[in-house]
């Protein structure tokens, strides 16, 4: 069974940092690209970042470029999102999601349960 | 960047009705279009990819069509369990933009 489990969310002050982790199981992690998608309270879905299976291809949404960094550790079946210089508008549930094909840019076929990040003073 | 526009933003229909949701891309994206369903308080679920390919395990009530800039998601016979917000998403290239969502309710 494919599982994705996020952790690391919580309350952080504006300008602060937080690191999200997503540990996966049930598939060969090193063969798939991974993504982070967020959803602000009561709002729609916003793609945040993607990383290819071997970390050679990385892309970010303009709203987080220069502040967020996506990375992965294939030995630990994990993908990470380092979030710096956080703003109130970064408050959201952050989902990790698997790319549905061997290509890094793809639809998302499996999603985690999400981690809530609240940015507030 | 390519923008994704969904319509309507919400709809109310009766059980058994045929429901159609539209997604329009501001530039052509071939068939790199996916549809997701998000039920209240739940994680998004993939319904359709490649514009018309039904994800494994998804009810055959759902179907997708379109190519280029105009796409549709159709629910052939609306059921109570279909109450949700539906999102389209382009994945031809980054950014992987979602549409604004369509909220489907039962009349």
Answer whether A59 touches B (CB < 8 Å).
Answer: yes
Backbone angles phi, psi at A15, to 5 degrees: 90, -10
In the predicted model, what is the mean pLDDT of residues A65-86?
98
* Mean model confidence pLDDT for chain B: 98
**Scanning every residue of chain A, which has its alpha carbon at the shortest distance from the alpha carbon of B103?**
A44
d(CA B70, CA B104) in angstroms, rounded, equals 20
Q: Given this model, what pLDDT does residue A29 score?
A: 96
How many Å lie between the alpha carbon of A60 and the closest alpha carbon of chain B?
7
d(CA A29, CA A3) in angstroms, rounded, equals 11
How many Å lie between the alpha carbon of A105 and the closest alpha carbon of chain B?
6
pLDDT exceeds 90 at position A104: no
Query: What phi-psi label fits residue A114: left (phi over 0), alpha (psi between -120 and 50 degrees) or beta?
Result: left
d(CA A22, CA A96) in angstroms, rounded, equals 6
d(CA A114, CA B65) in angstroms, rounded, equals 30
- Contact list, B3 vs chain A (CB under 8 Å): none
Of B104, B82, B103, B93, nearest in space to B25 by CA: B93
How many Å lie between the alpha carbon of A47 and the closest alpha carbon of chain B?
6
Q: Given this model, what pLDDT does residue A103 score?
A: 86
């Amino acid at each position: 069974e494919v599982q994705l489990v996020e952790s690391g969310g919580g309350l952080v002050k504006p300008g602060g940092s937080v690191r999200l982790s997503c540990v996966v199981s049930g598939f060969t992690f090193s063969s798939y690209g991974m993504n982070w998608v967020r959803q602000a309270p009561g709002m729609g879905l916003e793609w945040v970042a993607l990383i290819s299976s071997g970390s050679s291809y990385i892309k970010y949404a303009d709203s987080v470029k220069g502040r967020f960094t996506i990375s992965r550790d294939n030995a630990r079946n994990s993908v990470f999102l380092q979030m710096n210089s956080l703003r109130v508008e970064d408050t959201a549930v952050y989902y990790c999601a698997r790319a549905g094909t061997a290509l890094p840019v793809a639809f998302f076929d499996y999603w985690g349960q999400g981690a809530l990040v609240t940015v507030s003073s | 960047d390519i923008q994704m526009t969904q319509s309507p933003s919400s709809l109310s229909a009766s059980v058994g009705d045929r429901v159609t949701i539209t997604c329009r891309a501001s530039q052509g994206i071939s068939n790199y279009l996916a549809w997701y369903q998000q039920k209240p308080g739940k994680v998004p679920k993939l319904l359709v990819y490649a514009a018309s390919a039904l994800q494994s395990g998804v009810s055959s009530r759902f179907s997708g069509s379109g190519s280029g800039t105009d796409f549709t998601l159709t629910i052939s016979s609306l059921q109570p369990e279909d109450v949700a917000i539906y999102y389209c998403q382009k994945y031809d290239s980054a950014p992987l933009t979602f549409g604004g969502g369509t909220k489907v309710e039962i009349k």
